[in-house]
Amino acid sequence: MIAILRKDASEEAVGHIVSWIEKKGLTAHVSRGENETIIGLVGDTTKIDPFLLESIDVVQRVQRVSDPFKKANRKFHPADTVVDFGCGIKIGGGNFQVIAGPCSVEGENLLHIARRVKAAGATMLRGGAYKPRTSPYAYQGMGERGLDLLLEAKAELGMPIVTEVMDVRDVPIFVDKGIDVMQIGARNAQNFNLLKEVGKTNTPVLLKRGIAGTIDELLMAAEYIMSEGNDHVMLCERGIRTFETRTRNTFDLNAVPVLHNLSHLPVVADPSHATGYTRYVEPMALAACAAGADALEIEVHDDPANAWSDGAQALTPDQFDRAMDRIRAIRAVIAEQRTEEA
Ligand code: PEP
Ligand code: MN
């Protein structure tokens, strides 16, 4: 971390800042230039509040030199993390999967949808049993019964299941039932108690980016999980809130290569929540593949008009069949390029 001081900073003011830094257990290196004085802070800068330092009168600007996320950082872990769900299904490090299924688990139709998405080539099944809804009057999910229906579908089809955990108190239920992936939804992306709780388990976590979350906030959320010991974290770009109103969210596909650059964790892209409309899901799924996503999460429903949540963005099984054909085509082109490069 460096603090850039005003040109006219007095010796006394510089001395005060240096002793404040040293009291925090860090070393301060002062260099006086023509136009400004710079103090370099060396040591554990996590103890320093950059805003507090910047609030000192003579301090013009404070800049971080190293990233505040360590465990999620590619600098300290250059190789891609591969999350393994057993039965040969992995995400990351060149392993690509499609996670598909309804927004909410609604009942027996789950099995029908699951069979169709599996036949189309999806390898993992999604479905929400605990639903984070904007309105308290909207459908809230089936709860434990929904988890059991997902497990029944898994028993028949062998697809690992991905489902959202909303509450710290429910984490043991997910673990006891052997849920394969706990999803942390966009609305809980900074629920630090929940992040820490899933961090204490060994269950893979699909961590969604907050509704108005920055890439750094997403990485710090991953850091919360990893700092408790759980390294099986996947980052998910699901669109962010911007001034644009033509789509439900703005799909920040920049995040895919940016996250790959900054972190070793796999990056999942969710074109369903990112766009909010069925007609945009396939093109943006293809774009996410081209951008290098390690997995896609796509909502599929057998009767979108009557879905209990997110029907407007659901693909029908037939639409999903076609999207999967095109996803495979894009993946094949990428694989071909890689072999040519090697
Ligand atoms: C979901 O996956 O159904 C969901 C609620 O996603 P998000 O948290 O990204 O809105
Ligand atoms: Mn949804």
The better pLDDT of the pair 335, 273 is held by: 273
Mean pLDDT, range 108-132, rounded to an integer: 97
**CB-CB contact of 212 with 241 (8 Å):** yes
pLDDT on residue 35: 84
**pLDDT over threshold 90, residue 333:** yes
Could you please report the per-residue DSSP string of 108-128?
THHHHHHHHHHHHT--EEE-B
Q: Which amino acid is at 234?
A: M
Q: Which residue lies with its CA nearest to atom 1 of ligand 1?
A: 103
pLDDT on residue 252: 98
Q: What is d(CA 117, CA 262) in angstroms, rounded to the nearest whole number? A: 32
**CB-CB contact of 54 with 17 (8 Å):** no
Q: Which of 99, 103, 133, 218 to mutate to test the pocket of ligand 1 (most atoms within 8 A of CB)?
A: 103
Confidence of residue 110 (pLDDT cuts 50, 70, 90): very high
Q: Which residue lies with its CA nearest to atom 6 of ligand 1?
A: 185
Residue whose tokens read 């089936």: 142
User: Ligand 1 mean position to 186 CA, how many Å?
Assistant: 6
Q: What is the pLDDT of residues 257-315, one digit of tens each?
A: 999 999 999 999 999 999 999 999 999 999 999 999 999 999 999 999 999 999 999 99
Q: Which amino acid is at 242?
A: T
**Signed CA dihedral, 272, 274, 279, 285: sign only:** negative
**pLDDT over threshold 90, residue 52:** yes
Residue whose tokens read 């709780």: 197
User: Ligand 2 mean position to 309 CA, how many Å?
Assistant: 6
User: Ligand 1 mean position to 273 CA, how many Å?
Assistant: 7
**CB-CB contact of 107 with 203 (8 Å):** no
Taking alpha carbons only, the member of 220, 210, 157 closest to residue 186 is 210
Bridge pairing between strands 295-299 and 27-32:
unpaired
